[in-house]
Structure 1
Amino acid sequence: MNIFALTAENTTRFSLIVNILLFQLKVVGGVFGHSRALLADAINSLLDIVGNTVVWIGIRIAKRPADEGHPYGHGHADTIAALFVSTLLVITGIYIGYSAVHVIIDKDYTVPGKLATAVAAFTIVVKEILYQWTIRAGRKANSPAVIANAYDHRADVYASSGALIGIVVAQIGFPVLDPIAGFWIGFLILKNAVNLLKNNLHFLMGGAPDPAIRLKILETALAHDGVKHVREIKVRSSGPTYIADLKIMVDRDLTVHQGHDIATALKMTLRQVLDKLQDVMIHVEPFDPDREKDQK
């Protein structure tokens, strides 16, 4: 097995290993480098470890085939994992912001050392590489959980960048800016987390995916031999896959068997065109030109 292969599970496993190492590094850098911003960032890494574990479990469950208890598969496990990561990010943002405000009010400032600077800079580079790798894997697998994990890495880039700025400015004589940087970190993480939370709640509630998916289904159906008209298309997300319902219209003089053959062939074509289409239910209706004209 190649751990560097661009798959959802590989990127999640590798991210987990990196986050464990970064957490330890940030704790050491924050304690011995006297940086509150870096210690706050370490808490973020600790939650990343929990999030990575949940994502890994979620994508493994989502891959299970449909069964009697879950006739549409287990795809929503992926979305639930994404919701968990989003919630962790919300908690992280609030905690970091609260801690920073507490330090500012108490005026309990410290001047970070050079070790804190080096750790923050190293974290930025590592996390940006992880973001680029994970977002590609998430989009390739169409996995909400892995995509959420990628944005978690990007939030870490923001967090460590804010920490680095605060550390450097504190070192040149403005220690109050270290907790101010911590507050800014919390705000950025919270803002991104709320957007992620909204998107994944949308999908968990059966929300429609990218409109381009519906358009592709429509174009494929209209181009299919025997389809006269497409009356209705409904598409919903099921984790990394889609489930669609179509109402197509065929020549009213065709037999039921002929109409069924058209629907079966169209279903096969759609699943070839859209590899993430888990299932599609096609309802066949007779096409009446005069009736359709009146309805328009």
Structure 2
Amino acid sequence: MEDRFSSGKKVAILGIAVNIVLLLLKLTAGYSSGSQAMIADGFNSMGDVFASTVTLLGSIYAAKPKDADHAWGHGKAEYIASMIIGFSMVVMAIYTITGSVDSLSSGAELEFSWWLVGVAGTTIISKFILYCYCIKKSKKFNSVLIKANAQDHRNDVFVTSGTLAAIFLSMAGLYFMDGLIGLAISAWIIYSGVIIVLESARVLMDAGVGEKTLEEYKKRVMEIDGIDHIDSLNTKPVGAKSILVVKISVDRDMTVIKSHEIGKKIEEELLASYPELDDVIVHVNPDLPHEEGRHCQL
């Protein structure tokens, strides 16, 4: 059966194959015509090849089972891979900025050709198909790594559309637009890369789920009989899933066996109700006097 990791591998292999072809087409067309926008687009495809390779390696490593050194598995490898993709996009974009600046300062003229138009059209169509495929898989498996690839393909649709606009504007003598669009392409890639880095960093820095989701978990826990109150409830991300850590208070005279049964029921019911949870850890306290307003920390 296909899972998030095998799907990530398929997305990566498909991306590598398509992007290598587009890379060769774009750089050949760009350098032969002097189009800085197409050259920038070509280097963007070079970054896409790297991104797809990182996706492949990240999916393979993240699929490894739990071991003695990784009690919660290797799922965070997806986020490390996504962060690498984001940084690579930024580096490539900065490199292409120099070519666009040189084009503007030198007043270089773009030589129009239908070859450029054909390459741009092929890129837009193929990248749109890849985006649709990847975004569907990312939603199905809630994979940040596949989502990063989908965003990368989507960006390419907009980027190459800008390149196509520069090609046609050159027919009207607006050659400077090639350099300007090349700069705009680079800026867009930098923005997209930074967003991917920030999203990945959030999980790697153990940011928990939102307050609304915590409230939902809290209500579900309090539906279980025998709980006096919740002392605290927090989550810790482990790859695509989270660990829920719950501290509850029960009647101080309750037997250890009974309190253990309550804790086990919380674990079983929440794991059954919320597939995004990888584990539920329950700590049971006796209901001792406490300061008002401090017994439930979310």
* TM-superposed deviation, 1:125: 2.5
Q: Identity of aligned pairs, percent?
A: 30
Instruction: Identify if the C-alpha distance between structure 1 residues 37 and 216 changes in structure 2 by more than 3 Å, giving closer, same or farther.
Output: same
Q: Which residue is equivalent to 1:188?
A: 188
In the TM superposition, what are the counterparts of 1:1-296 in structure 2 within 5 Å?
7-287=7-287, 291=290, 293=292, 295=294
Shift of the 210–116 alpha-carbon distance from structure 1 to 2, 3 Å rule, reads: farther
Q: Deviations over 1:210-258 (max 9, x none)?
A: 4444333223212233333222122122221212211122333321111
TM-score normalised according to structure 1 size = 0.90
Cα distance in structure 1, aligned partners of 2:219 and 2:122: 48
Deviation at 1:88, TM superposition (A): 0.8
Aligned pair in 2 of structure 1 residues 267, 43: CA closer, same or farther (>3 Å)? same
Distance in structure 2 (CA, Å) of the matches to 1:90 and 1:100: 16
Of stretches 20-29 and 209-218 in structure 1, the one that deviates more from structure 2 is 209-218
Compute the displacement of 1:204 (Å).
Answer: 0.8
Deviation at 1:293, TM superposition (A): 4.6
Instruction: Say whether the 8 Å CA contact 1:33–1:115 is kept in structure 2.
Output: no
Name the aligned partner's letter for residue 108 of structure 2: D
| 1:108 aligned counterpart, secondary structure | coil
Shift of 1:260: 1.2
Matched residue type, 1:24: L
How far off its partner does 1:116 sit? Answer: 0.9
Against the structure 1 CA distance between its residues 283 and 115, is the aligned structure 2 distance closer, same or farther, given a 3 Å change threshold?
A: same
TM-fit CA distance, 1:294: 6.6
Give, as a single letter, the amino acid of the residue that structure 2 aligns with 1:38: M
Distance 1:268 1:110, change over 3 A: same
Structure 1's 263 and 172: CA in aligned 2 closer, same or farther, altered over 3 A?
same
Residue by residue over 1:124-177, the C-alpha shift from the partner in whole angstroms, topping out at 9 and shown as x without a partner, is 222223223212322332222222222111221221121111111112221111
Between the aligned partners of 2:222 and 2:86, the Cα distance in structure 1 is: 39
SS at match of 1:283: strand
Deviation larger for 72-81 or 99-108: 99-108
Secondary structure in 2 aligned to 1:7?
helix
Question: 1:71–1:190: structure 2 CA closer, same or farther, 3 Å change rule?
Answer: same
Which stretch has the larger CA shift, 36-45 or 203-212? 203-212
Instruction: Give the count of matched residue pairs.
Output: 294
Distance (whole Å) between structure 1 residues aligned to residue 238 and residue 12 of structure 2: 20
Which deviates further from its counterpart, 139-148 or 159-168? 139-148
Answer whether contact 2:8 2:55 (CA < 8 A) is retained: no
Does the 8 Å CA contact 1:33/1:114 hold for their aligned counterparts?
no
**For 1:178 and 1:202, how far apart are their aligned partners in 2?**
37
> Aligned AA for 1:147?
K
What letter corresponds to residue 9 of structure 1 in structure 2?
K
Structure 1 residues not aligned, in runs of 5+:
none
Matched letter for residue 156 of structure 2 = D
* Pair 295,26 (structure 1): closer, same or farther in 2 beyond 3 Å: closer
Pair 126,215 (structure 1): closer, same or farther in 2 beyond 3 Å: farther
- Whether the 8 Å contact between 2:34 and 2:109 is mirrored in structure 1 is no
SS in 1 for 2:234: strand
**What is the deviation of 1:283?**
0.9
TM-fit CA distance, 1:285: 1.7
Contact 2:8 2:145 survives alignment (8 Å): no
Distance 1:178 1:145 in 2: 32
Shift of 1:47: 1.3
Answer whether contact 1:226 1:250 (CA < 8 A) is retained: yes
